[in-house]
Structure 1
């Protein structure tokens, strides 16, 4: 029996962590480590698994003494904590296997890792496990293709204390059809959204329900409506599931602004239990939006299209949260007041504002590099 310790490094305070609101609702973290829980479901039965989410609990020396191997999955905001975890594992003599978006892009800058399992793990993690068993494991594993997510297993939610979290997470799709210059999602997951089947999503809902979860569930897709047809196929199934059980889950997700043009889909979202949607608004300046290759946020027929879109979605009964960016080409010093005015007038209660970052691999990074 191999002891596999799955460690989720600590996140610094960000919008997605809701750190300053956690005490108010009596939880330790906003969301569980869905990626690691999905990886956990891919292990064979001859592995004993333990999950340590460092946003909920500490990584103790006794955990490292127990572990034969440590597996981590991280985003770039967890870089500092990941480095600390790797250092502790190296001192304890425990091999580290690293994956997730951050190592996929920056593995050449990460020291002390025994094996990198990069890209989407469905395609290469089983190969890594076979090679480990044979004693032939390589340092770097890359996925030869984008995986068929209809074969992705149900995450091992049973490995966490669900009461430590504000919301559970479920993934329906990966990828986004748009081409925003600053975005790395399309580089990591592609521009052809791949979706799970409705039966898969319902099974994940069943698992959460049977484990006793009642409350918020965040559909973590970067663009829930990236494949509108499949979203329309899924939503009636969720609505029926919710109705049969007395609506135990309140749902939220992320979507592109063109959701406002999908009247029927919004109606079914509300029927299914969605009450919040996060939109990538970025800026109310159409010129800046076009320069950053985000035409889906612009309308030639409506100079106030973003305001109209937000109000349309709100009018359906869903709260709109919006992400904004400072530093886009095409914006000037008036952007600060313009952002504040738009947020206030549109009635957006939660509006994180970020500084533009040219992440490696994005079109913006390549343009600036040239």
Structure 2
């Protein structure tokens, strides 16, 4: 069969619709890797090339995140109207299968590595079922390396993505990772990681390790950093804040080429952290944690969730002052978003506080619930002011005044986000 794989595009109502440094999702290249060789694959990223063009493929497959569901459905409807069979997969169809089936001939639910081959086999025989559900999680040693050949000749900033672990050991109520993986944490064999590192890029280039928490299992992380040290990559990833206080592991991360980490601080309010279930975070140690990362040359992209139940209107200035005081290298200030499948969605539904199920608004930049201690308008205006203030030129220079080795990533990233946010808000 001829198969068309599509990654739906972001709209201009989201920051990600304005970011110039594009990079691919890893899910479709991973499914391409386990697609039998007698099938022919063509890949389209709707963010960088038009997707709504009649095609001669037999089967169209889309991966769907919640904020991209409306666009994915529009693409799926287009191809079905042209007589094509369409399969949808990803986190949104997994949690909203009845809705997704209104726009697809079949769904791949759960981890696609287990169910995609079965769907392909049935599609080839003209016996496509409606749902292919992975009843278990794939064993870590069977997670395939992505087929990066389908990304060739695309206008990406970089394609050096690799996954070493899957899942997270924590159970934050706003996160869909635990809902998807059931609180499990799997590590890939180090020999498999070496095989990918041998081909992923040139020595000295940046790579992004797309793990949800690269230090979820300390012993494995230590061994992984030993492997990474053999290569001359500059790497970025996600990590929990407790890494800052494990001196041996922190030094190993830095020595292995870590230049930056996404760290979820989430809130400066203890009651909010308790409500989130963010047990690993201790506010009194935030400043020291950032200083420890900086001491070994690791920049920090800090994440904060706005609009939790104990947030009041002063939270925006409080966070801004904290980011300047600690010289935070980068920041993402996200509005609480109750994604399908999460604990926070169940809680807000029970409280009758969900005010919109327009999935295009579920991009962490729009408000789809009623806050408790401020109005919807106050939450949005505070989010907008905080985001723009953080990305003014004087603030960027003040935060990055003492250049470190991570400066080469965070300086252009800050100015890239500055330009994108200005366009995003101008687009309102």
TM over 0.5: yes
CA distance in 2, matches of 1:16, 1:42: 33
Superposed counterparts of 1:125-164, under 5 Å:
125-161=116-152, 164=155
Shift of the 60–75 alpha-carbon distance from structure 1 to 2, 3 Å rule, reads closer
> Does residue 319 of structure 2 align to residue 327 of structure 1?
no
Aligned-pair CA distance for 1:41: 0.6
Distance 1:312 1:16 in 2: 30
Find the partner of 2:237 among 238, 253, 257: 253
Tell me which of 47, 57, 70 is aligned to 1:67. Answer: 57
CA spacing shift, 1:47–1:32, aligned 2, 3 Å: same
- Is 1:284 the counterpart of 2:306? The answer is no
CA distance in 1, matches of 2:47, 2:199: 23
Relative to structure 2, which stretch is displaced further, 104-113 or 150-159? Answer: 104-113
Question: What secondary structure is seen at the aligned counterpart in 2 of 1:39?
Answer: helix
- CA deviation after TM superposition for structure 1 residue 144, in Å: 0.8
Q: Which residue of the partner structure matches residue 317 of structure 1? A: 297
> Counterpart in 1 of 2:67?
77
By how many angstroms is 1:359 displaced?
1.8
1:214 CA displacement: 6.5
Change (3 A) 1:198 1:325: same
How far does the alpha carbon of each residue in 1:186-244 deviate from its partner, in whole angstroms, 9 at most, with x for none? 011232211111111222222323xx69622111111111122211121111111x1xx
User: Structure 2 residue aligned with 1:52, among 30, 41, 44?
Assistant: 44
Cα distance in 2 for residues equivalent to 1:129 and 1:369: 37
Q: Which position in structure 2 is the counterpart of 1:100?
A: 90
Q: Is the Cα contact below 8 Å between 1:12 and 1:77 reproduced in 2?
A: no
Tell me whether 1:337 sits opposite 2:317 in the alignment. Answer: yes
Cα distance in 2 between the residues matched to 1:333 and 1:60: 43
2:96 alignment partner, SS class? helix
In the alignment, the residues of structure 2 paired with residue 65 and residue 18 of structure 1 have an alpha-carbon distance, to the nearest angstrom, of 25
Partner of residue 272, structure 1: 256
CA distance in 2 between partners of 1:336 and 1:265 (Å): 33
For the residues of structure 1 that align with 2:13 and 2:298, how far apart are their CA atoms?
A: 23
1:179 is aligned to 2:171: yes
Runs of 4+ in 1 over 6 A off after TM superposition: none
Please give the per-residue CA displacement for 1:131-173, whole angstroms capped at 9, x wherever unaligned.
2234332101111111112112221111113662223211111
Residues 168-317 of structure 1: pairs in structure 2 closer than 5 A: 168-209=160-201, 215-240=205-230, 242=231, 247=232, 249-298=233-282, 304-317=284-297
Q: Distance in 1 between matches of 2:13 and 2:270?
A: 27
C-alpha root-mean-square deviation of aligned residues, in Å? Answer: 2.0
For residues 34-90 of structure 1, the C-alpha deviation after alignment (integer angstroms, 9 at most, x for no partner) is 1000000111111011111112222252xx422110111121121232122112112
Structure 1 residues 354 and 198 mapped into 2: Cα distance closer, same or farther (>3 Å)? same
Q: Which blocks of at least 5 consecutive residues in structure 1 are unaligned? A: none
Partner of 1:355: 335
Asked if residue 124 in structure 1 is aligned to residue 115 in structure 2, the reply is yes
Return 5+ residue gaps in structure 2 as ranges: 351-428
Conserved 8 A contact 1:176-1:190: no
SS state at 2:178 partner: helix
TM-score (norm 1): 0.88
Asked if the contact 2:10/2:17 (under 8 Å) is kept, the reply is no
Deviation at 1:267, TM superposition (A): 1.3
Could you state the TM-score of these two structures normalised by the residue count of structure 2? 0.77
Q: 1:163 to 1:52 in 2, by over 3 A?
A: closer
Compute the displacement of 1:100 (Å).
0.9
| In structure 2, distance between residues paired with 1:59 and 1:200 | 33
